[in-house]
């Protein structure tokens, strides 16, 4: 901050405190730049985004009092890498150093808060923060979450862990915002985690009803105001620089009326806050691509107001968000506290509940989650390879390039108009293309990491015996730091097969016809793997069944189709399917599930599952519509089918129940399906408590929204629990009132459950959905939507969600006592997220020689206690000194302008999965020695504790302490590198601890 700015700041502060009650206005120039939504990233870069940074850099350099905040890093990084000249880069470095260009949030995108997973939120922040810190030595300290559709309680926790001093949100329920404005409650200290409480609290500012866009209405003119550069033009910027809807200029004739308009809005806002500091956002979507015309109009307007400040009762100044929050912090007020409640769902009007996007574009949500899981596995493999094979044949720069491409793609899709499914079809296709291409690159990397270090035996140079059986090799990798026993499903094209481990021992297996194809078979086999461990398996395809004695050939029993009437089945003809945990009863009169008995506590719960439809209105003249964002319906759901058939495949590894639902009884093909897999194998370590279900839904009729309805005898009183971004569970009490059906839908990222005094029914998901409990004992999950409407804006930009895809999400279901599910569901959700990676390393071929068992170890095993999760183990590649002062000196000397990647620094994150008091044992703090935990990978020499995204040394991180009524004191727990105790850490409930790890140089 320059001396002149400090003089203005303290002069205004003096006048306020001196009793003149001048309102100090912080005018914050910004441009909301969606990484997607209507236009692709490439289209936006060409049409306006590149020009924003080019023109802002030029204009800020002309006047010391000008400011700008930059939010989404993807556009800035693209500009920096592909557009910016050396002169512009030098200017930016100077502006950043002087605090006139401020990076806010600092992540790759402004992430959604409802349907994103915390692992992906952390990833996209880490990618952006790493770039900013390496390039400029800056660490964002404030958020600007102005456009996500509701606010999660997990987000402020993550920002606090990253070192932020204040948080900003905007979209919350309209009626709640009205009340908060009236009572001056828009600012508070948020304790987003009920376990961490004040340890990770953060001051939170809620934007008023005008949100992040400048009001454009001018009472003295038919033209708009404050948007002097007009509206961005696609696909090409106008050659003459004249854009549509350029606002009325500020002149000698208009400046007085402009000033009165601006001051009136400032005073209106000031009445909603406790201090005389007003945050006045100047900008909106796609603004400041011509920063010259913007500042050249605002400069004289602000000068006029300040010259007449006593008459207006207002002063104005350009400011960054940090300067605004600094003023609020110095006000030294005592602030209200908010607990771990979130602001979901979000409605901007009584019949505008933004709960539809929880289920929009289900395919994209699934692809994004699978890509994230693959990235997690590949990161851990690369760390293991780098330490174990320092001189190995996989090129480090190529490997890091593949990982960075997938990091970029997974980060990009977390945008609040990305994974939400609220974008146009061409943008959805862009996300899918970027994810798919990056996934292919990482799959190639994973194959190289598996194969090249091992030098596997091959049959090259040997003649092949035509009578030899075909065989194929598969590698299975456990990406979790727990020992697991799992059932692998590998698709083959042969009806018989046997599986052998790498020591030549037969593996329990089962083969059967696939549910979705007449030409393939599902081969199930059981694997036992240590943490971060891989094993190779040999699959031999037998002829005539010889040599396949260890593989059970499962056969199917088909039950005839049953027409479903309005009245349920009598339950007099029940068919049991039982394993070690459950007895499932299916009604022969309906082919539907009838009930589940938990064999441990012998309690039977009536359970029925089937598909229902909401029929949406698409005509705006007829009333509220459903669209990409909004779920709106006049009527209750209706049954989506007339008939059901069932097929049961009984096996020794698992029993599979296939239920197919026909929209019309006479239809030749089913519209919906549920495939339930009941584990039967009783070997060591394999749990039987999870029932895996995969659904097939679509293509849908137009204006149809389909839900899976699970109806039970549980007395839950319509109380539902759902997860916040996979981090914590939230209690959702049914809210009565207008539009109660849509406003009682909530996001389910990983988990949802209902319960009564005795039992809990849990659903765990492999992607985000919308979920609700509309009646007692009922849990419904929205799986798919296909919509069209005639709203002109939606039609103009193709935002009608005419999604004709077939979706096949997977969920795991558990039914048990509350104590049993409390011990299980957190870990089970992680296991569903990070299932074993299965990779075929060759195609079926005849063996040219007799294979000998390799007999080698399956690789290092890294095992954490059951309540700790290895959240991250990666080599980020960012190259900067851990010492902040040293890093800044390198930047200012120009030494780090072209840094080579750092392949020796490992980023480690560990998360405690449990809440305080959730379980008598698993909720306890856990003390571990990380040197011991990681010893099977290599010898740990140095460990530094860092902030969540790695840019702060935790010992130097001193966040602002905001005053609250209870004046809670926080305790700073940190790990320092000195002696053996330097490697021992205690992790408390819901903590996420982040470390830099350096292994012994002998490993490299």
Query: Which tokens belong to 604?
Result: 């039977």
Residues β-bridged to residue 874: 907
Residues 6+ apart with CB under 8 A from 972: 954
Which residues have CB under 8 Å from 485's CB, separation 6+? 526, 527, 528, 683, 684, 685, 686, 687
Neighbours of 565 (CB within 10 A): 10
Could you count the other beta carbons within 10 Å of the beta carbon of residue 1001? 10
Distance CA 572, CA 562 (A): 15
Whose structure tokens read 């862009």? 430
How far, in whole angstroms, is CA 411 from its chain's centroid?
Answer: 9
The C-alpha angle with vertex 173 and arms to 328 and 342, in degrees rounded to 5, equals 70
- How many Å apart are CA 351 and CA 627, to the nearest integer? 12
Q: What length is written for the chain?
A: 1004
Residue 645 annotated among the catalytic residues of the structure: no
β-pairing, 905-912 vs 992-999, is antiparallel
Q: Which token pair is 541? A: 């395809």
- For residue 125, the SS3 value is helix
Under 8 Å CB-to-CB from 56, ≥6 apart: which residues? 29, 68, 101, 288, 291
Residue in 814, 797, 829, 944 with CA at minimum distance from that of residue 883: 944
The two structure tokens encoding residue 932: 């011991």
CA-to-CA distance for 85 and 641, rounded, in angstroms? 62
Beta-strand ranges (E) seen in 78-226 are 101-103, 166-169, 187-190, 202-206
Reduced to 3 DSSP states, what percent helix, strand and coil does the chain have, rounded to the nearest 5? 25, 25, 45
Distance CA 832, CA 766 (A): 6
- CA proximity to 1002, closest of 929, 938, 932: 938
Indicate the angle between helix axes 362-388 and 396-412, nearest 10 degrees.
150
In which order are the strands placed within the sheet that holds 337-338? 166-169, 202-206, 187-190, 337-338
The Cβ of residue 375 has, within 10 Å, a number of other Cβ atoms equal to: 26
Catalytic residue among 34, 117, 120, 147: 147
Q: Are strands 984-987 and 926-929 parallel, antiparallel or unpaired?
A: antiparallel
Distance CA 430, CA 729 (A): 33
Confirm if 303 and 50 have CB atoms less than 8 A apart: no
Residue matched to tokens 């007999």 = 855
Cα 50 to the center of its chain, rounded Å: 27
Helix (H, G, I), strand (E, B) or coil at 37: coil
Residues with catalytic annotation?
Answer: 147
């Amino acid at each position: 901050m320059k001396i002149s700015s400090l003089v203005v700041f303290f002069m205004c502060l003096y006048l306020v405190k001196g009793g003149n009650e001048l309102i100090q206005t912080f005018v914050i120039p910004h441009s909301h730049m969606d990484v997607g939504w209507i236009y692709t990233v490439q289209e936006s870069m060409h049409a306006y985004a590149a020009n924003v940074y080019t023109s802002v850099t030029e204009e800020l350099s002309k006047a010391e009092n000008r400011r700008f905040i930059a939010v989404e890093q993807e556009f800035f990084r693209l500009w920096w890498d592909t557009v910016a000249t050396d002169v512009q880069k030098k200017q930016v470095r100077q502006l950043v150093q002087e605090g006139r260009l401020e990076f806010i949030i600092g992540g790759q995108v402004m992430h959604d808060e409802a349907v994103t997973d915390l692992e992906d939120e952390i990833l996209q922040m880490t990618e952006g923060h790493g770039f900013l810190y390496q390039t400029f030595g800056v660490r964002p300290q404030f958020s600007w979450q102005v456009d996500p559709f509701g606010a999660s309680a997990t987000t402020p926790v993550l920002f606090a862990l990253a070192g932020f001093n204040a948080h900003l949100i905007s979209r919350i329920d309209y009626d709640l915002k009205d009340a908060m404005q009236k009572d001056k409650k828009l600012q508070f200290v948020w304790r987003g985690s009920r376990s961490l409480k004040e340890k990770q609290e953060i001051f939170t500012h809620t934007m008023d009803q005008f949100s992040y866009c400048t009001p454009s209405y001018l009472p003295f003119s038919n033209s708009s105001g404050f948007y002097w550069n007009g509206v961005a033009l696609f696909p090409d910027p106008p050659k003459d620089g004249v854009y549509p809807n350029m606002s009325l200029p500020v002149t000698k004739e208009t400046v007085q009326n402009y000033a009165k308009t601006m001051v009136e809005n400032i005073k209106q806002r000031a009445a909603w806050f406790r201090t005389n500091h007003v945050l006045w956002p100047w900008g909106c979507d796609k603004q400041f691509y011509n920063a010259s015309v913007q500042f050249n109009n605002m400069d004289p307007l602000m000068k006029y107001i300040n010259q007449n400040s006593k008459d207006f009762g207002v002063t104005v100044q350009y400011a960054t968000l940090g300067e605004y929050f600094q003023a609020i912090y110095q006000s030294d007020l005592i602030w209200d506290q908010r607990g771990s409640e979130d602001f979901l769902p979000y409605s901007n009007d009584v019949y505008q509940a933004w709960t539809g996007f929880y289920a929009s574009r289900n395919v994209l949500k699934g692809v994004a989650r699978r890509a994230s899981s693959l990235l997690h596995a590949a990161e851990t493999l690369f760390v293991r390879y780098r330490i174990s094979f320092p001189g190995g044949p996989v090129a480090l720069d190529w490997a890091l390039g593949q990982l960075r491409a997938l990091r970029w793609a997974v980060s990009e899709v977390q945008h609040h108009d990305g994974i939400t499914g609220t974008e146009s079809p061409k943008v959805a296709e862009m996300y899918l293309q970027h994810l798919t291409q990056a996934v292919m690159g990482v799959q190639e990397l994973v194959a190289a990491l598996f194969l090249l270090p091992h030098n596997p035996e091959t049959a090259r140079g040997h003649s092949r015996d035509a009578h030899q059986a075909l065989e194929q090799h598969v590698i299975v990798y456990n990406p979790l730091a727990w020992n697991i026993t799992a059932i692998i499903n590998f698709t083959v094209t042969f009806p018989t097969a046997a599986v052998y481990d790498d020591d030549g021992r037969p593996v329990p297996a089962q083969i059967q016809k696939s549910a979705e194809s007449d030409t393939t078979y599902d081969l199930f086999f059981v694997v036992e793997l240590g943490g971060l461990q891989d094993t190779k398996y040999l699959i031999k395809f037998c002829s005539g069944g010889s040599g396949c004695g260890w593989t059970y050939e499962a056969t199917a029993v088909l039950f005839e189709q049953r027409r479903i009437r309005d009245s349920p089945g009598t339950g007099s003809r029940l068919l049991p399917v039982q394993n070690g945990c459950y007895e499932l009863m299916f009604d022969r009169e309906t082919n539907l599930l009838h009930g589940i008995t938990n064999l441990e506590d012998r309690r039977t719960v009536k359970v029925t599952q089937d598909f229902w439809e909401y029929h949406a209105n698409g005509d705006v003249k007829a009333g509220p519509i459903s669209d990409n964002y909004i779920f709106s319906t006049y009527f209750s759901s209706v049954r989506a089918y007339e008939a059901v058939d069932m097929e049961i495949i009984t096996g020794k590894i698992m029993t599979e129940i296939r239920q197919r639902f026909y929209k019309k009884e006479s239809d030749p093909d089913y519209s919906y399906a549920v495939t339930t897999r009941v584990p039967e194998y009783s070997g060591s370590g394999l749990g039987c408590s999870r029932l895996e279900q995969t659904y097939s839904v679509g293509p849908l009729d137009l204006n149809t929204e389909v839900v899976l309805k699970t109806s039970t005898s549980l007395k839950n009183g319509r109380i539902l629990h759902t997860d916040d971004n996979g981090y914590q569970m939230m209690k959702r009490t049914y809210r009565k009132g207008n539009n109660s059906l849509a406003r009682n839908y909530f996001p389910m990222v990983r988990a949802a459950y209902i319960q009564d005094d005795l039992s809990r029914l849990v659903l765990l998901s492999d992607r985000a959905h919308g979920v609700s409990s509309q009646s007692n004992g009922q849990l419904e999950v929205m799986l798919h939507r296909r919509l069209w409407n005639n709203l002109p804006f939606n039609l103009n930009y193709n935002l009608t969600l005419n999604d004709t895809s077939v979706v096949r999400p997977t969920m795991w279901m558990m039914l048990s006592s509350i104590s049993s599910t409390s011990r299980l569901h957190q870990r089970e959700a992680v296991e569903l997220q990070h299932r074993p990676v299965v990779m075929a390393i060759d195609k079926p071929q005849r063996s040219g020689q007799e294979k000998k068992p390799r007999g080698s170890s399956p690789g290092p095993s890294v095992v954490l206690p059951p309540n700790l999760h290895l959240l991250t183990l990666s080599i980020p590649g960012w190259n900067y000194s851990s010492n902040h002062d040293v890093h800044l000196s390198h930047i200012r000397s120009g030494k780090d302008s072209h840094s080579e990647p750092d392949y020796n620094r490992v980023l480690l994150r560990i998360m405690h999965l449990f809440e305080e008091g959730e379980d008598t044992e698993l909720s306890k703090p856990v003390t571990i020695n990380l040197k011991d935990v990681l010893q099977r990978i290599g010898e740990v020499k140095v460990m530094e504790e860092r902030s969540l995204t790695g840019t702060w040394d935790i010992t130097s991180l001193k966040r602002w302490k905001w005053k609250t009524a209870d004046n809670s004191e926080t305790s700073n727990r940190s790990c320092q590198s000195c002696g053996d105790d330097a490697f021992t850490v205690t992790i408390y409930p819901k903590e996420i601890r982040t470390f830099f790890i350096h292994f012994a140089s002998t490993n490299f």
